[in-house]
Structure 1
Amino acid sequence: MGSSKRRPLILACVMLAMFMSAVEATIVSTAMPSIVADLGGFSLFSWIFSTYLLMQVVTIPIYGKLSDMFGRKIVFATGVSFFLIGSVMCGFAPSIEWLIASRVIQGIGAGAVQPIATTIVGDIYTKEERAKIQGYLASVWGISAVMGPVLGGLILQFAHWQWVFWINIPIGIISVTGIIFFLKEKVKKEKKQIDYAGTGYLLVGITALMLVFIQSGTAWAWASPQTGGLLGVFVFSLLMFIRQEKRAKDPVMTLSIWNDRLIATANVASLTLGAVLIGVSSYLPTYVQIVLGESAMTAGFTLTMMSVGWPISSTLAGRLLVPLGSRKTAMLGACSLLIGATMFLLLSYVQQPLWAGAASFFIGGGMGFTTTTFIVSIQSQVDWNVRGTATASNMFMRILGSALGVAMLGGLLNNRLAGYLKEEGAGIDLPQTLDAANLLLDPVERRRFSEEELNVLSDGIAFALNSVYLGVFIMALISIGLIVSLPKKDKGSN
């Protein structure tokens, strides 16, 4: 598909779309303290990420299936359009609740951007070429990593945080226009069926599980009827989803691909890697600004280091994948993950932004080696007619891991902070709620606190975030164990 003359143009459009997605992640994370200071709602902090990720989780397998049925072009264009609509709505958000609702729309579109873009690359390049092209795709993260914090800092200094969302619009329009004009597809005309029931079970089940992680221990007890009921809904929905996918003529997720050991192992490893990724990207800027007392620009650059390590390792993985094989290449990522996760675990003892940036770099290195290895290997295991589904399944598991990770880690953050404020802040005039952190993020309100009150709030957030990094370390260890269990040999098909 696509002549050799069109391929560079198609690749450029794909890279633009991925740049849009990557810049969004970097700028929003950097701008979150300013957004929360303006709109309030620190207790809903994790929902800004989790609702976005939830809709990505649900829509990724749908987009993957639809791209196999109707072609990549129309699905890609539809997804980017939703993403841009959501971006406009986010910029106009007058409250934290509006922003969360707008992120839902944005997430519906985001579910198409990365998996379909990656699938398009898998269609127009051979296996040997894909390994190298993945390095180019990964370089997008490096470029956005450098530009993201700079753009975010400039926006926060000279304009309003609204522009961190509106900056997506021209990029998305150029990308979609290019794909429509340059990508030529030959899609077989046949009767199509969409698995609406499977989609519904997936949405209900994942939503229930995320509510458990976010609300249990704060809004209600872990042993409460609400937690038990939601867990029951999750288990029931999961069983019904599996049953539906086995009997559906065109299932939203083709379960047969999970019979392949490499695909199954890579997908489960992507689940835990997603939790590691979100644990770093969501909370590191807040840690650097509140606990270390650094500027938003410094916080952005500590997060940037992850996106610098990612393309470097991804480019190396592209060169090493064919001679070394999937398992050995992924093992390099496992080593980098272990170093980064350990450094984050020690962040409470070495409270320096350079240390945080170095830890972020090694996490990025681990992500680059593993994600590139997984995608190229999975695409080489299957034929064209299921390549979109197979690629989406891996993206699905990684985003699912991020969605569940931000919910679980957000719940842990809220729980630990609430406990600390209740115990340590009881004797001083300090609001005994999670939203007390809003006041710390607001420069005007911050000046109203005494030194003792500021110390209690800062120490409480540090205590809670250190617990988050312990969770990140555990997820990294599980990921490493799965990488070690990858099969030693894999297919070499195109």
Structure 2
Amino acid sequence: MKPLSEALRRRRVTKRPLVLAAVILAMFMGAIEATIVSTAMPAIVADLGGFSLYSWVFSAYLLMNAATVLIYGKLADIFGRKPIMVIGVSIFLIGSLLCGLAGSMEQLIVYRFIQGVGAGAVMPVATTIVGDIYTKEERAKVQGYLSSVWGISAVTGPALGGLFVEFISWRFVFWINLPLGLLTIIVLILFLHEEVEKKKPEIDYAGTIVFLLSISSFMFLLVEGGLSFPWLSIQSGLLFGAAAIAFAVFVWIEKRTASPMMPFDLWRVRPILIANIVSFTTGIMLIGISSFLPTYVQGVMGESATVAGFTLTAMSIGWPIASTVSGNLLLTIGYRNTTVLGGAALIIGGLLFALMEPESGPWWAAVSSFFLGVGMGLTSTAFIVSIQNTVEWKQRGAATAANMFMRNLGNTVGAALLGGVLNSRLNAFLQNQSDDEQTLSIDSVNELLGGNSEAYSDSAFRVLKEGLDYSLHSVYVVVLIFALFSFFFLLLLKKGE
């Protein structure tokens, strides 16, 4: 019996190279979602209509992603990484399939909710798996590889998105996830083996529900405020009050529950606190660029979907280079100096975007994206390595998920906030035009992005382009402001941390 049991034990040893490949594939699938969908959005709007709902396509996905990421992190600590990862990827694939079948913008938004529920597991659990199977000495290098996945995916994401839009259908930007996800599930089931201590699951349902109410109210206020109702109105006051009260109740619950969704005690460690705050601010920046840059390049600069996609690709060139370098810099110049360099790159990228004009051309947009990618690569790798080296196994899933949560929360708030800025500024611009152009509305941009030259006169299209330029410029100014916030918080780190 001993030889048999020994053989079985050997067979159940985790095969690290294959598991790492599956984790990279899962992260690639999650990362590509940001750029490939953004590139296809002008075509989706042209087909389904509803430009006023543009930001909801991102907000719906990001809301459920942010709401579930902490739950998945906690469940991964209770039941193990593999079953939670498999469940999350499966839900993500169901949502992806449905998104490709959407017949209206409203349907697409609903299906994006489903997709977001599954996506909440992908990044935090994948990153946690790597933290489990590699030693502290190996993590800096391996996490650099993982961070570079964002860059590599951004190379292929815009390219595939542009090619699908121009030669096949925008629906394939969602369906491409199906083979990737299925392969990930198969490899994890076969080759990831873990010893999980059996314990009674304690899930913070109350905290989850209250948090979802808070962020949903706040997000709806950001997207629709100044458009569907005035900022200074009863509706705005009620939404803000609901969001504030629900968040206060959330904090109260988290401090008293035995198994909190958000382990606030981890935030007492200065590097973790600052990493989480900056992950939030950079999350806002990231969604602001990845969501709206293709619209600017296509709608304002008049370039094709493929060219618009490749302006985002430049971010991917900076991201993997910086991620790889970040792993080495952590060992030579330290955590603080590495992240401060990343913060400086974020400011350069944000400033270039704020100064961008229609005549600047796609190369200007690409260079701006490059610097933003450098900043993201330097900071994100440093944050994950620092957090995972600070906590032990039983907290690693929750700690990693908390950092991912803050970035996802930044994405969610950013999609809503910047979408609200775009809609309100564009609406104000169109209302101030001459009487001949009073028939134009936000949804008139549908025709501009769809290239329907017969829908309006040349002067009307000129007004729409000017309005889109004006409103998106405001978005980029907000991105720059958050880059400055990020840099300020990084300066608060002490040497040696």
TM-score (norm 1): 0.96
Q: Pick one of 225, 240, 243 that aligns with 1:234.
A: 243
SS at match of 1:320: helix
CA separation of 1:33 and 1:192: change in aligned 2, threshold 3 A? same
Counterpart CA distance in 2 for 1:326 and 1:454 is: 50
The Cα of 1:153 is off from its aligned counterpart by 2.3
For these two proteins, the number of residue pairs brought into alignment is: 488
1:476 corresponding residue in structure 2? 483
Aligned residue type for 2:67: V
- Once the two structures are overlaid, the 10-residue window that deviates more, 313-322 or 33-42, is 313-322
What is the correspondence of 1:445-464 to structure 2 with a 5 Å cutoff?
A: 445-464=452-471
Counterpart CA distance in 2 for 1:77 and 1:430 is: 52
Counterpart CA distance in 2 for 1:156 and 1:337 is: 30
The Cα of 1:146 is off from its aligned counterpart by 2.2
2:396 corresponding residue in structure 1? 387
Counterpart CA distance in 1 for 2:189 and 2:87 is: 11
1:48 aligns with 2:57: yes
Counterpart CA distance in 1 for 2:439 and 2:366 is: 33
- What do residues 14-49 of structure 1 show as CA deviations (whole Å, max 9, x unaligned)? 001111112222111100000000000000000000
1:255 corresponding residue in structure 2? 264
Q: Pick one of 288, 296, 320 that aligns with 2:297.
A: 288
Aligned residue type for 2:458: E
Aligned residue type for 1:401: G
Aligned residue type for 1:428: D
Counterpart CA distance in 1 for 2:453 and 2:331 is: 55
- Once the two structures are overlaid, the 10-residue window that deviates more, 343-352 or 197-206, is 343-352
- What do residues 255-308 of structure 1 show as CA deviations (whole Å, max 9, x unaligned)? 111111111111011111101101110000000001111111110000111122
Q: Pick one of 86, 104, 108 that aligns with 1:99.
A: 108
Decide whether the 8 Å contact of 1:85 with 1:106 is kept in 2.
Answer: yes
The Cα of 1:170 is off from its aligned counterpart by 0.6
Aligned residue type for 1:165: F
2:212 corresponding residue in structure 1? 203
Counterpart CA distance in 2 for 1:174 and 1:311 is: 24
1:434 corresponding residue in structure 2? 442
The Cα of 1:430 is off from its aligned counterpart by 5.1
Decide whether the 8 Å contact of 1:65 with 1:253 is kept in 2.
Answer: no
1:23 corresponding residue in structure 2? 32
Counterpart CA distance in 1 for 2:437 and 2:334 is: 60
2:3 corresponding residue in structure 1? none
The Cα of 1:348 is off from its aligned counterpart by 2.3
The Cα of 1:157 is off from its aligned counterpart by 2.3
CA separation of 1:349 and 1:25: change in aligned 2, threshold 3 A? closer
Decide whether the 8 Å contact of 1:306 with 1:363 is kept in 2.
Answer: yes
Sequence identity (%): 53
What is the correspondence of 1:77-476 to structure 2 with a 5 Å cutoff?
A: 77-348=86-357, 351-424=360-433, 426-429=434-437, 431-443=439-451, 445-476=452-483
The Cα of 1:183 is off from its aligned counterpart by 1.1
Counterpart CA distance in 2 for 1:301 and 1:64 is: 34
Decide whether the 8 Å contact of 2:14 with 2:191 is kept in 1.
Answer: no
Counterpart CA distance in 2 for 1:12 and 1:349 is: 41
- What do residues 191-212 of structure 1 show as CA deviations (whole Å, max 9, x unaligned)? 1221110101110000011011
Aligned residue type for 1:440: L
Decide whether the 8 Å contact of 1:413 with 1:467 is kept in 2.
Answer: yes
Dislocated runs of 4+, deviation >6 Å: 1-5
User: 5+ residue gaps in structure 1?
Assistant: none
SS at match of 1:351: helix
- What do residues 242-265 of structure 1 show as CA deviations (whole Å, max 9, x unaligned)? 111111111111111111111111
Decide whether the 8 Å contact of 1:340 with 1:362 is kept in 2.
Answer: yes
- What do residues 167-203 of structure 1 show as CA deviations (whole Å, max 9, x unaligned)? 1001001001111111111111111221110101110
Counterpart CA distance in 1 for 2:496 and 2:26 is: 33
The Cα of 1:318 is off from its aligned counterpart by 0.8
1:488 aligns with 2:495: yes
Decide whether the 8 Å contact of 1:430 with 1:453 is kept in 2.
Answer: no
Counterpart CA distance in 1 for 2:309 and 2:57 is: 18
Counterpart CA distance in 1 for 2:474 and 2:309 is: 21
Aligned residue type for 1:432: L
2:4 corresponding residue in structure 1? none
